[in-house]
Amino acid sequence: MADAELFRHRSKYASLRHAARCALENSRTFLRDANSIMILTDPSGLIIDTQGDDRVIDAGRAVHLEHGGRWSEADIGTNAIGAAIAESKPVQIHGTEHFCSKVQRWTCAAVPVHDPTDGELLGVVDISGPASTFNPQSLALAVAVGHHVESVLAHRSDRNMRSCFAAFSPRDRNGRTMNASCSIAAA
């Protein structure tokens, strides 16, 4: 994917990226010691962000586990990102469970991230590393991060909803917001 196209694509998912930013940045420190990376994709499995161990990020480029890499099952066969999208649930794929032989050197745990207001698939959080770093707790971490991202999105949605209601709330002659039941009772 060309840089300009990737930039536009990442911009399209700015809200998801913003909601995941804190978790991704915090992951850099603890995943460095775990020889792993954290990945954020869009709903089609296109990688839009990565953080973690720089050596693993570099190694991931050999299999397109990088910004702009496409990881749907249709694109690359069985893998955790694609399976999480297809099954709409957390998935861990280890070593030879991957379809592509070059990817069989990896272990991956992925969880779909859904819009808290309508359940729409927004993307996937994935934790990947060399197969030798396999840890069943990676799936639990991916699930926790996915829930955190959904929580940030829900909080932002709730805050936006309240500010929207406040903008349309009835006001008294001094500009103070009135209770909706008071405005109905006074009518």
- Provide the residue ranges of all domains of the chain, joining segments of one domain with +: 3-186
In what helix (H) or strand (E) does residue 89 lie, and over which residues does it extend?
none
Read out DSSP for 39-79?
Answer: EEE-TTSBEEEEEE-HHHHHHHGGGT-STT-B--HHHHSS-
In what helix (H) or strand (E) does residue 111 lie, and over which residues does it extend?
strand 106-114
Q: What are the tens digits of pLDDT across the range 22-80?
A: 888 888 888 888 899 999 999 999 999 999 999 999 999 999 999 999 999 999 999 99
Position 163 pLDDT exceeds 80 = no
Q: Using 50, 70 and 90 to split pLDDT, how confident is the model at 187?
A: very low
Cβ 60 vs Cβ 103: under 8 Å: no
Which position has the higher pLDDT, 185 or 94?
94
Average pLDDT of the residues of the chain:
86
Q: Superfamily for 3-186? A: GAF domain (3.30.450.40)
